[in-house]
Amino acid sequence: MTPPSKQLDNLVPLAEAPVQAYFSNRIQLAEVISWVLGQIGKADITISTFSTSEEFLRRFARIKDSGLVKSCTLFCDLKATKKTTAIYDFINGVFDNIYLCMNHSKVVLFRSESICVAVVTSQNQTRGDRNEAGVITTDLRVFRVLDESLNSLTENSLSIDDIYR
C-alpha cells in the first residue's frame, strides 16, 4: 500500500476505515485520487465538479499516465462552460468523456475489480489555500447512490464536443 503523504497523514488505509474524513487547507484533490489508486490499483473514475483548472488536469494526466486509470469521465457545470471550453484540447486529451450539466457536486468515484470508493469533497478541481472538507468511503450503498445519480446526469447533459464544435 502507498503510505499517505504528509498532507494526507490524518488518513488511514482504506482497508482500516470504511468511512473517514479530512478537513485541511493543504490537501489537494489530485493527492487524494493518487492515494486511493495507490491502494486499489487500476480503476474506472468518474469525477464531478463545478470547475476544473489546468493545474488539476496536469496532475490528473500524470496519474492517468501511470496506468492506474482505466477510464475517466468528467461532469462540469454549464456555468463554467466558457472556462472549460477554453481548455478544450487539454481537457479532451485527459478525459474520455466530458459532460456539461447543471452540477455543483464535487464527487470522485473509483470502481476497481475488487472495491468501489467514493470521495465527496467541498473542493473544486482548482487550487486554493482555503480549508476543504472531504469524506472517503468504501460503503457500497453510498457508492451506488452517487454512481446512479451521476449516471442520470448524462440524460440532461451536453457533451463538451457538441458545445466546442
Per-residue pLDDT reduced to its tens digit, 50-74: 878 888 889 999 999 999 999 999 9
Quick one: pLDDT at residue 165?
58
Residues 81 and 107 sit within 8 Å (Cβ to Cβ): no
- pTM of this structure: 0.89
Residue 72, number of CB atoms within 10 A of its CB:
19
**Does 120 have pLDDT greater than 80?**
yes
